[in-house]
Amino acid sequence: MFKQSKQVKPAAPKGKAVKRVYFFGPGNQTEGKADMKDLLGGKGANLADMTTAGLPVPAGFTITTDTCGDYNDAGQVLPASLMAEVRANIAKVEKATGKKFGDAKNPLLLAARSGAKFSMPGMMDTVLNIGLNDAAVDGLAKLSGNERFAYDSYRRLINMFGDTVMGVDHHHFEHELSAVKADRGVELDTDLDTDGLKEVVARYKKVYKDHVGSDFPSDGLQQLEAAIEAVFKSWMGERAIKYREINDIRGVRGTAVNVQAMVFGNMGDDSATGVAFTRDPSTGENVFYGEFLVNAQGEDVVAGIRTPLDCKTEMAKWSVKSWKELLEVKKKLETRYRDVQDFEFTIEKGKLYMLQTRNGKRTAQAAVRIAVEMAKEKLITKEEGILRVEPSSLDQLLHPTFDPKADKTVIATGLPASPGAAVGKIAFTAEEAEQRVAQGEKIILVRRETEPADIGGMHVAEGILTSTGGMTSHAAVVARGMGTPCVAGAGMVHIDAAARTLKIAGKTYGPDDYISLDGGKSPAGEVYEGQVPTVDAALTGAFAQIMKWADEFRTLKVRTNADTPHDADVARNFGAEGIGLTRTEHMFFDPERIHNMREMILAGAADVEGRKKALAKLLPYQREDFIGIFKAMKGLPVTIRLLDPPLHEFLPHNEKDQKALGDSLGLSLEAVKQRVQQLHESNPMLGHRGDRLAVTYPEILEMQVRAIIEAAVATKKAGIKCLPEIMIPLAGTKAELDYLKKITIDTAEAVFKETKTRVEYMYGTMIEVPRAAVTADELAQTAEFFSFGTNDLTQMTFGYSRDDAGVFLPEYIKKEILERDPFQSLDVGGVGKLVDMAVKLGRGVKPDLKCGICGEHGGDPRSVEFCHNVGLNYVSCSPFRVPIARLAAAHAAIKAKQAPAKSAKSAKPAAKASKPAAKIAKPKAKAKAKRK
């Protein structure tokens, strides 16, 4: 839980020469390997590997991630030896290409690209055409026989270098480009002739000088050094940090920089550049999925400036040879990497080059389909298929889709960039989205095109709509990664962010208007007016298949926390194997019942008869609730937790409601106020709640136990099996459990006698206070099962109030004092230790003691893995997290099998790990010990 140190790996020892640069290129000279992602980043390791595999990769070298770490640790100073090593490697690239860096006649141009261990789309910076200057541009023109291309490349360098390295806002360059195009009466960049581009270069240089204060550097090495620094700096930039935060990327020191010989997609109409996935990252379908632009360079495709062409339908029309080569590449990449690849390519005068490949980001829907199909194709094993699907990503599949029967008015269509149904009000900037979501609104973020700085707003939005850009534009890629529905490139949508209007076909929508969007609709994503109703998700197709496979591997059972027959039903459909927690108090908040509850509470402390009278009115309600749940669970175990919250939570706190309550009970307002006052507690979470209520007012427990047992009898009589587990909340001592157990048994026996019917039931306890955990061997003598209430156990172990921790916990996370919120993901080092200890102590007394967890952590994949490893019998979570927990449990089982030595330590059944204290009496062999 606690981070030991912010620095993951120490900087290289002083004085010792460190290898910082790894070459890749022809003739067995490649120094990197596929498994060197930590040091070379994902892109660097894969460039080395693709080169080794004989794929056409332009020669280059990778500067290590450690160098970036060292650079930032040293206060943003490049290591002294770095540039000498870079120069030596440039010499190798010169040899491989037959060109010379800085040469006026035969210039070698370089690209510098970032590449961390984990891909961070749009987060880091790229500079192309490094090495161009006034002399080299002429050399390039002569060499390529294409002066236009040379000046196009030059203006791109000045723009990219000025923007990403020196921080000159891109729009200053854009402004000049538009001015030159307007002067010359052309619309597209590609329509500008050489003279036009020469003018653009001159204007760009002026923009550069005006904003930077010095001339654009003509020395290639100086350009490269500055570009390397800029990439290293961007690692610590706000948007990169935010991306890592959102994606929980930790323990990585920095990004690598990949420097590579330039190849050109903008050398004419026989050149192109593109990006592609080996399968559809949106649906998972096994088809080539890519886009390309003829006579274009690098970032044009992802930037969404020109709308690219679909490779599948257009590439063969342009070049059959290139299309065939790309299909071959698809096969080769998947066979080698055994996963979907997201790759970039450039075709220079008809010759194909690979610029990068990496595992493709995909939607949850695609991840599931790809995992299932690749396992069926025997490209991967079933276990690998299961491990490929991130349990928490299933959340995307469990959420509603639009009701097919609902009336919808389609107001726009665009690319189906990220599937799912989203409904919300319109926000026009990322900041606006963040602010309004913080105020509780549901928002659709509407932008011409998103950019990396929008990441925060994109993260909180229900859905994203853009008016430009393709399937691989920033909005599309990031939305898919986040699982946020997105319709991209809806060209008929006119967005005016300043005026906060969205105009479609003459109609104007503003920030208070609702729109709905479906980012998975085929063949086009759709935008609808207003709020379209949704329907629940179903577990079918590949999703059902992966769940089935998960069940084959997992050993941990998955139950649900459900308080109503409807929730129980939903959970059963998602595969719940029982109920791990029914919070009975939720049943009392119903308007019909709250009155009787209040009547019960308002009875004076000594007025046992008054309380019993009110409780008698609540009994039939409770019984009916339990019958409904038992029937829904059809014989699966149902754990019912007796009343837990402090009583004052049920009372009205404003005078109007207090008066109404008093009137209905024949009490004065003053009397009601007085009782409310009496029930006030300074520290209710540590006050009169949990089993303390039952100890002071046993009649509450009697009513609830009676309702449970009568419901079980009625269910049995209706021919349906049921297995109630009566659970005591917040116990801390064996004596409490003993006292309450006697009343429980007496009450149950009375019902059996009255109804002449016996049913099985169990009596157990929650482990929610540290004392219960450390004396679990004593509690296990009375309790027949344990259920870890890790919400309260976390609260009481840390001493962090569940209700108040929101004020300071975010600061703890931000400052990395805590790695994550312990209320969301179990604190393995502290709370987990108590859980582990309690399981061992309990099973030391009762080797078969059933142990589960019902706190929020039961649906958190990390915590589920922990629960598997400490040998719990089940986890219990909210209905919609049941599939997530099933998959997480399978992950845990597979990982434990793959690393038996590591997990065996903690996973051992507790029986012999820790003996119960000798003086504790052996548990009496009670009849109920047999119940399961």
Chain residues in the site for ligand PEP (CB under 6 A): 581, 583, 644, 768, 789-792, 854-855
Q: Among ligand PEP, Mg ion, none, what binds residue 855 when CB lies within 5 to 8 Å by partner kind?
A: ligand PEP
Please state whether beta strands 785-788 and 463-466 pair in parallel, antiparallel, or not at all (unpaired): unpaired
Active-site hit among 172, 474, 595, 868: 474
Stretch binding Mg ion (CB under 5 A), from 425-433, 607-615, 781-789, 866-874: 781-789
Residue closer to Mg ion (CB basis): 383 or 768: 768
User: At its nearest, how many Å lie between ligand PEP and the CB of residue 743?
Assistant: 22
- Assess contact for 327 and 288: CB atoms under 8 A: yes
Residue closer to ligand PEP (CB basis): 454 or 792: 792
Residue closer to ligand PEP (CB basis): 545 or 863: 863
Active-site hit among 311, 486, 854, 867: 854
Interaction residues for Mg ion, span 120-139 (CB under 5 A): none
Residue closer to ligand PEP (CB basis): 503 or 771: 771
> How many residues lie near Mg ion (CB under 5 A)?
3
- Contact map string, positions 63 to 102, toward Mg ion, x by CB under 5 A: ----------------------------------------
Q: Among Mg ion, ligand PEP, none, what binds residue 755 when CB lies within 5 to 8 Å by partner kind?
A: none
> In 10 A of CB 682, how many CB atoms?
6
Stretch binding Mg ion (CB under 5 A), from 319-327, 423-431, 631-639, 782-790: 782-790
Stretch binding Mg ion (CB under 5 A), from 221-229, 450-458, 555-563, 783-791: 783-791
Task: Report DSSP state, residue 779.
Answer: H
Rounded Cα–Cα distance for residues 296 and 299 (Å)? 9
User: At its nearest, how many Å lie between Mg ion and the CB of residue 557?
Assistant: 21
User: At its nearest, how many Å lie between ligand PEP and the CB of residue 859?
Assistant: 12
Choose which of 49, 383, 792, 860 interacts with Mg ion (CB under 5 A): 792
Annotate 208-236 with b (16+ C-beta within 10 A) or e (fewer).
Answer: beeebeeebbeebbebbbbbbbbbbbbbe
Q: Among ligand PEP, Mg ion, none, what binds residue 583 when CB lies within 5 to 8 Å by partner kind?
A: ligand PEP
User: At its nearest, how many Å lie between Mg ion and the CB of residue 730?
Assistant: 7
What secondary structure, in 3-state letters, does 517-535 show?
Answer: EECCCCCCEEEEECCCCEE
Residue closer to ligand PEP (CB basis): 234 or 561: 561
Rounded Cα–Cα distance for residues 711 and 238 (Å)? 58
User: At its nearest, how many Å lie between ligand PEP and the CB of residue 470?
Assistant: 46
User: At its nearest, how many Å lie between ligand PEP and the CB of residue 261?
Assistant: 59
Q: Among Mg ion, ligand PEP, none, what binds residue 144 when CB lies within 5 to 8 Å by partner kind?
A: none
* Contact flag: residue 575 with Mg ion (CB under 5 A): no
Residue closer to Mg ion (CB basis): 40 or 643: 643
Q: Among Mg ion, ligand PEP, none, what binds residue 414 when CB lies within 5 to 8 Å by partner kind?
A: none
Residue 629, judged by CB atoms within 10 A of its CB (0-12, 13-18, 19+), counts as buried
Residue 16, judged by CB atoms within 10 A of its CB (0-12, 13-18, 19+), counts as exposed
Residue closer to ligand PEP (CB basis): 160 or 581: 581
Q: Which of 319, 313, 306 is nearest to 347 (CA)?
A: 319
- Assess contact for 467 and 495: CB atoms under 8 A: yes
Choose which of 420, 452, 520, 789 interacts with Mg ion (CB under 5 A): 789
The answer to whether 494 is a known catalytic residue is no
Q: What angle do CA 687, 691, 697 make, to 5 degrees?
A: 90
Residue 84, judged by CB atoms within 10 A of its CB (0-12, 13-18, 19+), counts as exposed
Rounded Cα–Cα distance for residues 152 and 147 (Å)? 9
- Contact map string, positions 350 to 369, toward Mg ion, x by CB under 5 A: --------------------
User: At its nearest, how many Å lie between Mg ion and the CB of residue 814?
Assistant: 28
Which strand (E) or helix (H) includes residue 663? helix 655-665
User: At its nearest, how many Å lie between ligand PEP and the CB of residue 113?
Assistant: 47
Rounded Cα–Cα distance for residues 893 and 883 (Å)? 15
Q: Which two tokens stand for residue 807?
A: 């004020």
Residue closer to ligand PEP (CB basis): 370 or 587: 587
Which strand (E) or helix (H) includes residue 373? helix 364-376
Cα Dmax for the chain: 104
- Contact map string, positions 755 to 774, toward Mg ion, x by CB under 5 A: -------------x------
User: At its nearest, how many Å lie between Mg ion and the CB of residue 768?
Assistant: 5
Q: Give residue for tokens 């610590």.
A: 236
Rounded Cα–Cα distance for residues 447 and 473 (Å)? 12
Residue closer to Mg ion (CB basis): 147 or 792: 792
Q: Which of 585, 625, 655, 791 is nearest to 724 (CA)?
A: 625
Q: Which two tokens stand for residue 871?
A: 């040998």
The answer to whether 474 is a known catalytic residue is yes
Task: Write down the H helix ranges in 98-218.
Answer: 134-144, 147-160, 170-183, 194-212
The set of catalytic residues is 474, 854
The contact set with Mg ion (CB under 5 A) reads 768, 789, 792
